[in-house]
Amino acid sequence: MKHVFSIVAVALCFSLSLTAHAQKAKSKGAMQTSMQDNSNLPYTAMYSSNFQMGNSKYSRMVLDAWKAYDDNAFDRIADMISDTVTAIMPNGSVIKGKEAFLNGIKTYRSGFSAATSTVDAWVPIKSMDKGDEIVCIWGGETDTKSDGTTQKVDLHELWAFNKDGKLMFFRQFASQAPKEGQ
C-alpha cells in the first residue's frame, strides 16, 4: 500500500466533513453518502479522496483489539490478522507478518502490569476506488509499569482490512498526553 501516510490526512478531513454532512443529512431525514467536490482543492490525494462510510463490523474488530490489549489477551485477536500484515509504528519501525506483529505487541505490553484505554472517536471508511475498509480511531492509553509509575499517550491509529476481512495494514501515531492541569 503505497502512500498510506496520506490516508491520515484524508481520514481526518473525511471524519470532520462526515460529521457535518451527517448532521445535515439527519436533519433532512436521510443519510446520504455523496462527498464534497474535490476538484478545486490545493492537493491531490496520493492514496484516495473517494471515501464513504465503511462497514461498522470493522469498528467492532478494532475496539475488540483495543480491549484485548488492555486485558493482555492477544489470542482473542490473532484470527483477525492477515499473515502478510504490515505495521508502521510511531518510531518509524516497520513490522511485517502476523507472527512479528503479534510478538511485537506482546513484548511491548509485557512491560506493563496494567493498561487502560480510552476511546475518543472512531470512524469506519471505505475507499471507493481502492476498495479498502479502513477504521480510524482516536484515543488514549495509560500504562502502569511494574514499579507503579504510569505513562500516558494519545493515539491515532489506522486499521486497514483486506477483502477477506483480515487486518492487512496498521499505522499508529502516538504523542505524549498533555500534563494534567494544563
pLDDT tens for residues 43-90?
989 989 899 999 999 999 999 999 999 999 999 999 999 999 999 999
* Stronger pLDDT, 32 or 71, i.e. the higher one: 71
| Stretch 81-100: mean pLDDT | 98
The confidence score (pLDDT) of residue 36 equals: 57
Query: What is the percentage of the chain residues whose pLDDT exceeds 90?
Result: 71
- Report the mean per-residue pLDDT for the chain: 85
- Give exposure, 156-179, as e/b (b: 16+ Cβ within 10 Å): bbbbbbeeeebbbbbbbbeeeeee
Give CATH for domain 51-176.
3.10.450.50
The confidence score (pLDDT) of residue 35 equals: 53
Least confident among 15-19, 42-46, 168-172: 15-19
3-state SS string over the chain? CCCCHHHHHHHHHHHHHHHHHHHHHHHHCCCCCCCCCCCCCCCCCCCCCCEEECCHHHHHHHHHHHHHHHHCCHHHCHHHEEEEEEEECCCCCEEECHHHHHHHHHHHHCCEEEEEEEEEEEEEEEECCCCCEEEEEEEEEEEEECCCCEEEEEEEEEEEECCCCCEEEEEEEEEECCCCCC
Name the pTM for this structure. 0.79
Model confidence at 150, pLDDT cuts 50, 70, 90, reads: very high
Model confidence at 40, pLDDT cuts 50, 70, 90, reads: confident
Model confidence at 159, pLDDT cuts 50, 70, 90, reads: very high
Q: Where are the domains of the chain?
A: 51-176
Is pLDDT at 163 greater than 50 in this prediction? yes
| Stretch 111-131: mean pLDDT | 96
Least confident among 35-44, 126-135, 157-166: 35-44
Is pLDDT at 103 greater than 50 in this prediction? yes
| Stretch 93-117: mean pLDDT | 97
